[in-house]
Copies of this chain bind each other. A is one copy, B any other.
Amino acid sequence: MQNNRFLKACRREQVDCTPVWLMRQAGRYMSEYMEIRNKYDFLTMCKTPELAAEVTLQPINRLGVDAAILFADILLPLEGMGIKLSFAKNEGPVIANPVRSQEDVNKISILEAEEATPYVMEAIRLIRKELAGKVPLIGFSGAPFTIASYIIEGGGSRDYKNCKTMMLQSPEIWDALMEKISEVLLRYLKAQIKAGAQAVQMFDSWVGALSPDDYATYVLPYSKYVLDGLKEEGVPVIHFANNASSMLELVTEAGGDVIGIDWRINLDEAWRRIGYDRAIQGNLDPFTLFAPPKLIEEKVKRILEMAGNRPGHIFNLGHGINKDTPVENVIALVEAVHKYSRR
């Protein structure tokens, strides 16, 4: 490995400067990406290892980030479960057969990930080969709650009404569904590691919709099942729970070597609550990248100061990068992180 900063920081080892990567770094804000995206639809890109590899690698040279993250969608494992997924034009994911009953849950299949999503594993092998040790490759999945929310709601949601209703009215159906989802996700992440992912991140994008009590009762055991199951794999695991800053203690209890945080909390306070026996990842508001470069620099310095000189900070945004972000600001961000954290 030529650039080992990211993996070292995950293990809370000393690094020459703070590593940085960006959630959704392979994405629409880059013209290189759009050239490909204009030719293929999103699912085709995900399912064609050569295309997935190409866009995964784009930000590595262009931005100078310290890790690559697999280009994929958190919903890819759904098809192997028998759930019909499509992407409506500019509308996000649509699920033709949302899961609402015990019968629906019974129909869900649990396949081996190499069988359900062979193209993901092939993309990982290809990316590792093309990266040739330049930077490490991060694999990822959604977390059980986030995946359940799509499966139950039939797509994105503002209020998670169907999801919460199932949870509260039919906890036995909820549990049966979460058991199946957790098993699928654990197998999916294990297969990614086997294929060559050198770290994995579990995204709980929508868990901020829940109260701490409901998280503890209905979600934490399933997230923990996946995260515990990965311990034996020997690669760092990042657990990112968006909009969950008021229940970081519970998120930490669920597990993860690195806890990813959003921008709604000061990083120093977040790390204190998580505990210094974990690494931390975050936490710039993605829209800071619309600010003048001088202000971006100031905000980078502020986050680095909050992280202090404690080993184990991975710089990232608090959420995915926005499609309208000026790419020169992203480059300035990466440079600023490296420059101002140089030991």
The chain A residues found within 8 Å of chain B, CB to CB, are 159-161, 164-165, 168-169, 208, 210-214, 243-247, 263-266, 269, 285, 287-288, 290-292, 295, 299, 302, 318, 322, 324
Contacts and interface: CB of A to CB of B under 8 A. Distances in A.
A330 to B, nearest CB: 15
A211 B246 contact: no
A298 B318 CA distance: 35
Given A161-B322, A324-B161, A291 B168 contact: yes
Chain A to chain B: the 4 pairs with minimum beta-carbon distance, closest first: A245-B246, A168-B291, A246-B265, A164-B287
Contact of A246 (B164, B264, B291): B264
Contacts of A208: 243, 264
Contact of A159 (B169, B210, B269, B287): B287
B161 A285 contact: no
Contacts of A214: 285
Contacts of A318: 211
Nearest to A306: B213
Copies in the complex: 2
Q: Is the interface of A mostly helix, strand, loop or mixed?
A: helix
Contact of A290 (B165, B287, B295): B165
B266 A212 contact: yes
A163 B263 CA distance: 16
Contact of A213 (B210, B213, B266, B291): B266
From A213, A295, A322, residue with most partner B Cβ within 10 Å: A213
A251 to B, nearest CB: 12
B290 A164 contact: yes
A50 B291 CA distance: 48
Contacts of A243: 208, 243, 264
A80 to B, nearest CB: 30
Contacts of A269: 246
A211 B264 CA distance: 5
Contacts of A302: 213
Contacts of A299: 213
Contacts of A265: 212, 246-247
A155 to B, nearest CB: 14
A241 B27 CA distance: 33
A160 B212 contact: no
A165 B160 CA distance: 29
From A214, A264, A288, residue with most partner B Cβ within 10 Å: A264
A153 to B, nearest CB: 13
Contact of A165 (B169, B213, B287): B287
A290 B169 contact: yes
Contact of A161 (B161, B211, B263, B290): B290
